[in-house]
Amino acid sequence: MNTSMTILKKSLNKTNKKILWAINPNFIEKKIKNEVKKNKTKTVFLEKLEKLEKSIGPKYPIVDAHVHIVDFLWETEWLKNLLYYMNKSNIDKAVIFWTSVKKIWSENERERPEYYLDDDNGCYYDSSTDTTVANEYNKLSKSDKDRFFPLMCWFNPMDIDAINYIKRTFKYNPGVFCGIWEILYRHDDLTFQTQWEAPRMNTKATSKILEFASKYDLPVMIHNNITSPGVSDYPKYLHEMESMLMEYPKAKIVFAHCWASRRLNAPYYAKMIDRLLSEYPRLYVDYSWVVFDDIISINNVSVDEWLALTEKFSTRVMIGSDILGNGFYKIWATNSRFNNFLDALSPETREKVCRTNAINLYQNARNKVENWFEIKYPKLSEIK
């Protein structure tokens, strides 16, 4: 085992604090004002900042496979600003999407919430998000467009008619979307706050979406907690997910965060993911959000286990930051936490996990629906 892995957690916490402190725009603005006031110039501080940027941050060029470009209040710094931080963060490309639900600012709350956990008020589905971001994406130059893989996201996953929204969105935004976004099914506190019935995966609505995705070979990213916060002795919701994997084996499904979430745990987590990847060859996972800190890197044993799993399924693992649109500067710090883990992988696997897997999955899906490029699967009678 790589010696650096023995101090993985300590190294992650220290690096993240240092980088977030250094690149927070508010901190930089304040520091520059103080520097100018003190020395009549900002050159010394900017030189130190540039030196810090080069010394720490993501070590390898990556494709960030999980970026929300708006937050739960529909706030964003937009794509040009994201490109600025990507250029500073050794990030070649990014898989981008938004949030399908918007947080309510209730009149009972004195302050506007910034996140869905900021108060107990609900969230609701809002249909403006895909159109807004498609318009913003279309303003980019061709070279900048090539750095993004947008996924559509706005629909209620419990609505059987959601499939018609998906078809219309592809039709009216040709050349934009490369797949279907992190569909929010079971999501701990967010599930409780979202209006209408609690979303789950094994439904007629999901069947129509996966059937459509299989037809055009589109990737579908899904968030569905593996269990409930109050149930940690077995994966309570695994049967909902696996029933759909069995029914739609041709669908390319991405397990966002390996279906981990806050306050969740299940026994033999890595072994469970290993079995699912073994049995379903079109299943993918991304290491983003809490799965890396709370499950993968909790100790040396867990790190070794996930390193072996990553090598075994090297063509179906991706990494991502899972940042929101009101904090693009965090993309640097969040992705730097993977450095030691990536160091311990073989060079071939590292390149696949960092870049190749995401590019192959999403780039090949662009324009398939618009060009009616349906996948022709052989009939059972044709298979010898």
The alpha-carbon radius of gyration of the chain (Å, integer) is 21
Percent helix, percent strand, percent coil in the chain, to nearest 5: 45, 10, 40
The CB density around residue 105, as the number of other CB atoms within 10 Å, is 14
Mean pLDDT of 54-70: 85
Domains of the chain, earliest start first: 60-371 (3.20.20.140)
Residue 65's pLDDT band (boundaries 50, 70, 90)? very high
Mean pLDDT of 172-190: 84
User: Token match 């499939």: residue?
Assistant: 163
Residue 150's pLDDT band (boundaries 50, 70, 90)? very high
User: Token match 């669908």: residue?
Assistant: 251
- Does pLDDT of 107 surpass 70? yes
User: Which residues, at least 6 apart from 51, have a Cβ–Cβ distance to it below 8 Å?
Assistant: none
Mean pLDDT of 165-186: 89
For residue range 66-84, list pLDDT tens digits in order: 998 877 677 777 898 899 9
pLDDT at 10: 45
- Does pLDDT of 208 surpass 60? yes
Q: In Å, how far are 47, 61, 177, 246 from 83, measured between CA atoms?
A: 22, 14, 18, 39
For residue range 119-131, list pLDDT tens digits in order: 777 777 776 778 8
- Does pLDDT of 7 surpass 50? no
pLDDT at 191: 66
Mean pLDDT of 316-337: 88
In terms of average pLDDT, the best of 6-15, 27-36, 118-127, 150-159 is 150-159
pLDDT at 128: 73
The C-alpha angle with vertex 261 and arms to 255 and 267, in degrees rounded to 5, equals 85
- Does pLDDT of 343 surpass 90? yes
pLDDT at 153: 81
For residue range 236-255, list pLDDT tens digits in order: 889 999 999 999 999 999 99
Q: Are 183 and 138 in contact, with CB atoms under 8 Å apart?
A: no
- Does pLDDT of 6 surpass 70? no
Lowest pLDDT segment from 192-196, 217-221, 241-245: 192-196
Mean pLDDT of 154-170: 90
User: Token match 């390996």: residue?
Assistant: 258
Mean pLDDT of the chain: 83
- Does pLDDT of 60 surpass 50? yes
Residue 195's pLDDT band (boundaries 50, 70, 90)? low
Q: Are 206 and 253 in contact, with CB atoms under 8 Å apart?
A: no
For residue range 352-381, list pLDDT tens digits in order: 999 999 999 999 898 889 888 888 777 667
- Does pLDDT of 137 surpass 80? yes
Higher pLDDT, 169 or 57: 169
pLDDT at 132: 77
